[in-house]
Amino acid sequence: MKKKENIFQLLTQKPWEPSQAKIDNEHDGATLALSKAKLGVRTIIAVSTVIFSLMIVGYADRMFVYDWRSMPDPWLLWVNTGVLIISSFFFYKTKVAADHKQLEKVKNGLLLIGFLAFTFLVGQLLVWQHLIKLGYYVSSNPANSYFYLFTAVHGLHLMGGLFFWGRTTTKFLKGNYNISKLQQAIELCATYWHFLLLVWLVLFGMMIAW
């Protein structure tokens, strides 16, 4: 009932007025029509966005200095990007399957997503190994420094996502879940996955462009 008011309407309420009190007495105590977990994921996404944005600001500041030499973009990086896109796509499919309670599809989807995500992480490590072999060390050029920083922080975020993916999947496989909680968990993981894909596309696009 109170969920449609915008922040300005909310902040201009006069809680001491009897007329407002009548309205307020009917309030159910929640500000947004969102579950706590969903709001939690959104908050985390907001915090992560700030982290990545600030690193991008640093990148943009640094790349105009004379010693900046862009990194090569090995083909494996394109493969990894593809893997991440596919895993995000399957998360979408899995979420839809979960919404329709197609449990067999959900099971296959979750396992495939996990496999793809681990493939991505291993792929990133292989890119690191490849570049180190070519002599692109983290400290040899600021472009390298930022490349390793971005990939590492993004990878850590994905590992955080995998932790929650793991909890959801084990609960699902063991069969001790309730369907609406499972649907919510899958939906939230999917949101986070899409967010990380978006972050990666921005970072990757920036790194190949400059």
110, 116, 123, 142: which one binds another protein (CB under 8 A): 142
Cβ proximity to another protein, 10 vs 115, nearer residue: 10
Say whether residue 4 binds another protein (CB under 8 A): no
Find the binding residues for another protein in span 146-185 (CB under 8 A).
149, 153
Cβ proximity to another protein, 32 vs 134, nearer residue: 32
Task: Report d(CA 1, CA 209) in Å as an integer.
Answer: 48
- Quickly list H helices, the chain: 7-11, 18-25, 36-62, 75-99, 103-133, 142-174, 179-209
Q: For residue 2, what is the DSSP state?
A: G
Q: The tokens of 95 are what?
A: 């979420």
Cβ proximity to another protein, 92 vs 164, nearer residue: 164
CB 187 within 8 A of CB 97: no
Say whether residue 139 binds another protein (CB under 8 A): yes
Say whether residue 44 binds another protein (CB under 8 A): yes
Task: Report d(CA 158, CA 155) in Å as an integer.
Answer: 5
Say whether residue 70 binds another protein (CB under 8 A): no
Q: Find, among 86, 47, 76, 54, the residue nearest to 204 by Cα.
A: 76
Binding site for another protein (CB under 8 A): 1-2, 10-18, 21, 24-32, 34, 36, 39-40, 43-44, 46-48, 50-51, 54-55, 58, 61-62, 65-68, 138-139, 142, 145, 149, 153
